[in-house]
């Protein structure tokens, strides 16, 4: 009933046809290994997605958090409507280069795709990532700093990675200087250091031949 009420709040706030969802729940993470590691964590999450669309216009907005007070379905709906209005009369652009101003979520998504390889230890060891041969050097504007922090309460905090290693905050860029990348046990062992708690699920790990070919 609460979920339906919050979904209805999004619908009521939209002056255009609205599509989407409101969802919330409890997630249980558990990991057990043959070496004796046994960890678990319960956490809640909530999300609202709103797509305002009619003929010729469309706008999209979403919010996520770890408790219901973090999101406002009506706010998401209104944001989607405002974006939809801006698309009225839009035309198809010819291929080319165009200046663009990105909203924070769009910039964050681009940064996430860039960071998958640029700030990962595997690419560093294989000498193919952006970070290769740049650690300790200034590569960005001095006003730019970047950290990977899975424990930040503004996100969806998780205490351990897919190998059961406690997650750490990693300062990737300090005042424009590329300071570090993130490590799992295998890459950390290769480099003679400790994991930072950033092991991905097995489905996203590169095959072992990739590491060997990178060493040759």
Nearest by Cα to 185 from 177, 194, 176: 194
CB 50 within 8 A of CB 63: no
- How confident is the model at residue 115, as a pLDDT? 86
Task: Give tens-digit pLDDT for 80-91.
Answer: 999 999 999 988
CB 148 within 8 A of CB 112: no
3-state class (DSSP) for residue 177:
strand
Using CA atoms, how far apart are residues 15 and 205, in angstroms rounded to an integer?
45
Query: What are the residues whose beta carbons fall under 8 Å from the beta carbon of 188, sequence distance 6 or more?
Result: 121, 194, 195, 196
pLDDT above 90 (res 103): no
104 falls in which pLDDT band (50, 70, 90)?
confident
- How confident is the model at residue 212, as a pLDDT? 40
pLDDT above 70 (res 215): no
Task: Give tens-digit pLDDT for 199-212.
Answer: 988 776 655 444 34
Share of the chain above pLDDT 70, in %: 94
pLDDT above 90 (res 143): yes
pLDDT above 80 (res 189): yes
Neighbours of 37 (CB within 10 A): 12
Task: Give tens-digit pLDDT for 14-47.
Answer: 999 999 999 999 989 899 988 888 999 999 999 9
Which of 216 and 151 is assigned the larger pLDDT?
A: 151
115 φ, ψ (degrees, to nearest 5): -75, -25
Q: pTM of the full predicted structure?
A: 0.71
Which of 117 and 54 is assigned the larger pLDDT?
A: 54
Average pLDDT of 100-125?
Answer: 88
Using CA atoms, how far apart are residues 80 and 61, in angstroms rounded to an integer?
5
The tokens for 102 are 């990105």
Using CA atoms, how far apart are residues 84 and 208, in angstroms rounded to an integer?
47
Nearest by Cα to 30 from 199, 157, 164: 164
Q: Is the C-alpha dihedral spanning 144, 150, 154, 155 positive or negative?
A: positive
């Amino acid at each position: 009933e609460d979920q339906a009420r919050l979904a209805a709040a999004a619908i009521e706030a939209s002056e255009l046809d609205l599509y989407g969802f409101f969802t919330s729940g409890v997630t249980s993470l558990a990991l057990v290994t043959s070496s004796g590691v046994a960890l678990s964590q319960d956490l809640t999450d909530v999300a609202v997605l709103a797509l305002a669309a009619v003929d010729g216009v469309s706008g999209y907005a979403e919010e996520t958090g770890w408790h219901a007070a973090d999101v406002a379905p009506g706010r998401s709906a209104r944001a989607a409507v405002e974006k939809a209005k801006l698309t009225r009369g839009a035309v198809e652009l010819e291929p080319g280069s165009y200046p663009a101003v990105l909203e924070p979520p769009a910039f964050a998504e681009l940064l996430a795709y860039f960071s998958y390889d640029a700030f990962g230890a595997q690419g560093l060891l294989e000498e193919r990532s952006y970070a290769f041969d740049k650690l300790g050097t200034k590569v960005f504007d001095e006003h730019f700093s970047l950290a990977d922090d899975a424990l930040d309460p503004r996100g969806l905090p998780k205490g351990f990675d897919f190998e059961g290693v406690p997650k750490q905050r990693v300062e990737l860029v300090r005042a424009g200087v590329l300071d570090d990348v993130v490590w799992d046990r295998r890459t950390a062992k290769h480099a003679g250091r400790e994991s930072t708690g950033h092991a991905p699920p097995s489905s996203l790990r590169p095959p072992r031949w990739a590491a060997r070919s990178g060493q040759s």
